[in-house]
């Protein structure tokens, strides 16, 4: 078994779509580790707003200024993907007490599956701790041309147009 790299972290999530909170964790993670892989988990039971390929492309555009960040998608268990890329760390963001409870359970399960992989948590920035992809999709659905500029308080600028276009086609 090849040894895992403790300077390489994987930040996994749905990122449907990527938010300012996610981008903040990516930027901070990229400063902490030599390599950071942003991994889009594909859940076959869920119908996402953006396909895995679209999410990979969007996130690549957003992290293009960070040379040690790679972006990929995966199916299956996150720990299997982490092992596959040779990383020893999973990076997660924490917003609320509810997040802590869910993350605690998931971390213990992941530890049972892959004891050689450590999970590292970053507290969300107070500027972004209220932001979730679910909330953003709801706001986008009900915003008109005038209020759509509000979305840039929640998502990176690269996401605003694709998000508005997508919710519009879904509603029509
Ligand atoms: P998941 O489907 O795994 O919840 P998400 O894309 O929603 O995927 O989240 C991925 C990770 O990013 C999780 O660790 C989550 O807690 C964290 N996260 C989500 N939103 C924020 C935010 N606004 N600030 C910091 N971390 C966040």
Would the pLDDT of 172 be above 60? no
**pLDDT tens profile 53-78:** 999 999 999 999 999 999 999 999 99
Separation between Cα atoms, residue 68 and residue 33, nearest integer Å? 9
Ligand 1 centroid from CA 1, angstroms:
30
**28, 95, 111, 137: the active-site residue:** 95
Going by CA atoms, what residue is nearest to atom 9 of ligand 1? 13
CATH of the domain at 71: 3.40.50.620
Give the per-residue pLDDT at 171.
Answer: 55
Residue 95 located in a structural domain? yes
Q: Is 124 in the pocket of ligand 1 (CB under 6 A)?
A: yes
pTM for the whole structure: 0.95
In the numeric block, which tokens belong to residue 144? 């008109």
Q: Which residues have C-beta within 8 Å of that of residue 150, sequence separation ≥ 6? A: 139, 143
Residue 156 located in a structural domain? no
Q: What percent of the chain has pLDDT over 70?
A: 98
Residue 144 located in a structural domain? no
For the chain, what is the domain count? 1
Structural domain boundaries enclosing 81: 5-128
Give the per-residue pLDDT at 56.
Answer: 98
Residue 137 located in a structural domain? no
Among 41, 29, 43, 44, which Cα is nearest to 79's? 41
Residue 115 located in a structural domain? yes
To 10 degrees, what angle do helices 52-62 and 157-171 make?
160
Identify the band that residue 13 occupies on the pLDDT scale cut at 50, 70 and 90: very high
Residue 63 located in a structural domain? yes
Specify whether 147 is catalytic. Answer: no
Residue 20 located in a structural domain? yes
Residue 171 located in a structural domain? no
Strand partners, 98: none
86 close to 33: Cβ distance less than 8 angstroms: no
Ligand 1 centroid from CA 92, angstroms:
7
Q: Is 73 in the pocket of ligand 1 (CB under 6 A)?
A: no
Taking the CA of residue 133 as reference, the ligand 1 atom at the shortest distance is 7
CB crowding 55-84: b at 16 or more within 10 Å, else e: bbebbeebbeeeeebbbbbbeeebbebbbe
Q: Which among 18, 22, 48, 107 is the best mutation to test ligand 1's pocket, defined by most ligand atoms within 8 Å of the CB?
A: 22
What mean pLDDT comes out for the span 6-10?
98
């Amino acid at each position: 078994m090849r040894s895992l790299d403790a300077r390489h972290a994987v930040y996994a999530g749905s990122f449907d779509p990527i938010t300012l909170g996610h981008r903040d964790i990516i930027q901070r993670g990229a400063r902490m580790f030599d390599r950071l892989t942003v991994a889009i988990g594909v859940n076959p039971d869920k119908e996402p707003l953006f396909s895995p390929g679209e999410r990979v492309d969007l996130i690549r555009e957003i992290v293009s200024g960070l040379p040690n960040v790679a972006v990929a998608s995966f199916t299956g268990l996150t720990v299997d993907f982490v092992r596959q890329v040779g990383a020893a760390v999973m990076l997660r963001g924490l917003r609320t007490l509810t997040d802590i409870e869910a993350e605690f359970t998931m971390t213990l399960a992941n530890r049972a599956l892959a004891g050689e992989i450590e999970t590292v948590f970053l507290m969300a920035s107070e500027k972004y701790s209220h932001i979730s992809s679910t909330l953003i999709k709801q706001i986008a659905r009900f915003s008109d041309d005038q209020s759509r500029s509000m979305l840039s308080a929640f998502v990176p600028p690269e996401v605003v147009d694709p998000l508005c276009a997508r919710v519009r086609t879904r509603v029509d």
